[in-house]
Amino acid sequence: MQLTADQQAMLEGQNGRSKQKAMQILSTLGKIYGAEVMLPVTSVQVSGVSYANLGEAGLDWLSEMAVDGSRVKVLTTLNPAGMDIENWQVLGIDPQFARDQNRVLDAFARMGINLTCTCTPYLIGNLPNLGDHVAWAESSAVCYANSVLGARTNREGGPSALAAALTGFTPAYGLHLDENRRPTITVGVEVQPTGTWQYGVLGKAIGDRLQGQQSVPFITGIGHASLEELKSFCASIATYGGTGLFHMRGITPEVDNYTAPEEVIQITQADMQQAASKLQKALLDEVDFVSLGCPHLTLAEVARVAELLAGKKVKKEFWITTSRPVKRLADYAGYTTVIESAGAKFAVDTCCVVAPIEGRFKAMLTDSAKACYYAQARNRFAMHILPFDDVVLEACR
């Protein structure tokens, strides 16, 4: 792998021990994947932020990376943490966990990372342009960046994303290269989904069919989708199919560069029903936890929650998960007062998957197919998916 003089200097430790370790990670990855050069990145999204995921070993590693005062070279945002940084007590977070989570955030802050703690960096100013090379780690955001924004990123792990942030580079392989962005299979969608939940179900239906194939699907049959629908779809197809990039007419900026591959699979109404039924395992009477915001809610979604909750009271634990900047706008617009008066709770900077709530609830209701997957796999909750509005109304039942 060819390194520039600056990159070689980093590798030799001339810019400090942290940047040396970072360049070692990147050059090792580059060798493994056959990269010929490093590419400059315009932004980074780091995952592995929740102390529940990192533990003491992960925190030790982060602290070592922060020890020599090295700072990130490009705009770097963080994935959700394990708690609401300002309001963790309301969510029933253990004080010791809060102390440990704050030690993690301190380490990131020492490296100059913006403590945004959201899986929707593209909603809060980390918004790459068409063709920009970035190094993002959150799978839903990776899929969104590649497929909707036309930026280029592999799905980084936490360490490789941090290494890219500290050096400003990522090895040129995978989805950074034209040849790996070509569609490999056509997916004909015979239904027109509506709403975040149906786009999540569609992501599962396609993802289940593609699983393990490392495909780049060329999706036909979808004419238009909203930001919120695409956010949900990206999270779901990345979760169930491992998809980092799809092409969709009218959505993907690069789609006109390609023709639909000959190999075709169809997604029918029956496929959608089957996928939905797998996400509706819990009985609604069992539901004791309601969560919206996987991925984090947009301001329009928060506004809709406020509209639906006005004058009502929720009867179950109800978390609204979003980013801090969106919450600030919700405060300003008056949505927060309406939502909290109804008894629902904002869970800002975190989410129902990375917060330490394993086993705390019996059954979760959501509009998110990705949240359903992790509710079961990680937190041992039964789950049920419904349309966004119905989730809010059911929380009041």
Name the site residues for ligand F3S (rule: CB under 6 A). 79-80, 119, 140, 235, 294-296, 321, 351, 353-354, 370-371, 374
* Other CB atoms within 10 Å distance of the CB of residue 269: 9
Q: Which two tokens stand for residue 363?
A: 């059954």
CB of 80 to ligand F3S, least distance (A): 5
| Residue number with CB closer to ligand F3S (305 or 371) | 371
| Residue number with CB closer to ligand F3S (169 or 233) | 233
Q: Which two tokens stand for residue 314?
A: 């929720």
Q: Which two tokens stand for residue 190?
A: 């015979």
| Residue number with CB closer to ligand F3S (15 or 50) | 50
Any idea which residue has 């984090």 for tokens? 296
CB of 299 to ligand F3S, least distance (A): 16
CB of 317 to ligand F3S, least distance (A): 16
CB of 62 to ligand F3S, least distance (A): 18
| Residue number with CB closer to ligand F3S (27 or 118) | 118
CB of 140 to ligand F3S, least distance (A): 4
Q: How far is residue 92's CA from residue 78's CA, in Å, rounded to a whole number?
A: 23
| Residue number with CB closer to ligand F3S (35 or 297) | 297
CB of 289 to ligand F3S, least distance (A): 14
| Residue number with CB closer to ligand F3S (218 or 233) | 233
Measured over the CA atoms of residue 164, residue 17, residue 52 and residue 112, the dihedral's sign is negative
C-alpha distance across the termini of the chain, in Å: 60
